[in-house]
Amino acid sequence: NAGVMQNPRHLVRRRGQEARLRCSPMKGHSHVYWYRQLPEEGLKFMVYLQKENIIDESGMPKERFSAEFPKEGPSILRIQQVVRGDSAAYFCASSPARDGNTEAFFGQGTRLTVV
């Protein structure tokens, strides 16, 4: 069973371009979470999705950022019109459920650099 797969591992975008980050959860996992890690900081929660539904987006910036988890295919975190401040590592995690004993598994992250 492969782990959580994120691609690309590294992404370079010019200011104003769009960035698309992909996350394929572990097999059997229908819950996906996105986190952002700024340099010298811990991870910050962005959004929690469960197949085709956004459950909690309390950590998502109000503009330019969106996330989806379609019925088929990976979860996508989309950043429109990127700015230098969007440069960070973006991590995805997945879990089969969300009860108290459920462990979430993290991917290796996508490191976005905006130039």
Q: Return residues touching another protein (CB under 8 A).
A: 4, 6, 31, 33, 35, 40-45, 48, 55-56, 58-59, 91, 93, 95, 97-109
Closest contact distance (angstroms) between CB of 23 and another protein is 11
- CB–CB of 113/13 below 8 Å? yes
Please say whether the beta carbons of 5 and 107 come within 8 A: yes
C-beta of 95 vs 114, nearer to another protein: 95
Contact between 79 and 19 (Cβ < 8 Å) = yes
Residue 22 tokens, joined: 């992909």
To another protein, the closest distance from the beta carbon of 76 in angstroms equals 18
| Closer residue to another protein, CB minimum distance, 8 or 16 | 8
Q: How far apart are CB 115 and another protein at their closest, in Å?
A: 20
Residue 48, token pair as written in the block: 């929690």
Shortest distance, position 59 Cβ to another protein, whole Å? 7
Q: Closest CB to another protein among 16 and 61?
A: 61
Label the pairing between strands 110-114 and 10-13.
parallel
Cβ proximity to another protein: between 19 and 23 the closer is: 23
Burial of 75 by CB count in 10 Å (0-12 exposed, 13-18 middle, 19+ buried)? buried
